[in-house]
Amino acid sequence: GAVVSQHPSWVICKSGTSVKIECRSLDFQATTMFWYRQFPKQSLMLMATSNEGSKATYEQGVEKDKFLINHASLTLSTLTVTSAHPEDSSFYICSASNPGPTSYEQYFGPGTRLTVT
């Protein structure tokens, strides 16, 4: 149980274009999803928290107009990197939490490798 998927697993895009990454909770409803960014050989950096039906809450220093997050349903959140630049190349990981007494536990997706050329 508690499986989270991401699509695509890797994507290459040209500078200036936009790319969308999907995060799905496959066997549970996730009222909250988190988006992280991970640079090579570094830890995960929380970018934003998204709650179903409301605007995402971005961490300090994360450009909300560049990283658009939508949490339209209880099983799907999307991250759109707009006008991508090479410095946006990174490993993006999402996680989802179950509502209720174990909401502190996050279930992680397999990640999406974005390369901007």
Partner 1 sequence: AQSVTQLGSHVSVSEGALVLLRCNYSSSVPPYLFWYVQYPNQGLQLLLKYTTGATLVKGINGFEAEFKKSETSFHLTKPSAHMSDAAEYFCAVSDVDDKIIFGKGTRLHILP
Instruction: Supply the minimum distance, in Å, between the C-beta of residue 34 and partner 1.
Output: 7
Q: Are 6 and 21 in contact (CB under 8 A)?
A: yes
Task: Restricting to residues 27-46, name those near partner 1 by CB under 8 A.
Answer: 32, 34, 41-44, 46
From the CB of 16, what's the least distance to partner 1, in Å?
A: 26
Alpha carbon distance 108, 115 (integer Å)? 21
Q: What whole-number distance in Å separates Cα of residue 28 and Cα of residue 74?
A: 8
Of the residues 29, 103, 115, 117, which one makes contact with partner 1 according to CB under 8 A? 103
DSSP of 71-100: EEETTEEEEEE-S--GGG-EEEEEEEE-SS
Shortest spacing between CB 44 and partner 1, in angstroms: 5
Handedness of CA 64, 49, 36, 109 (dihedral sign): negative
Among 6, 75, 77, 90, interactor with partner 1 by CB under 8 A: 6
Options 78, 81, 97, 116; binder of partner 1; rule CB under 8 A: 97
To the nearest whole angstrom, how small is the minimum distance from the Cβ of residue 48 to partner 1? Answer: 11
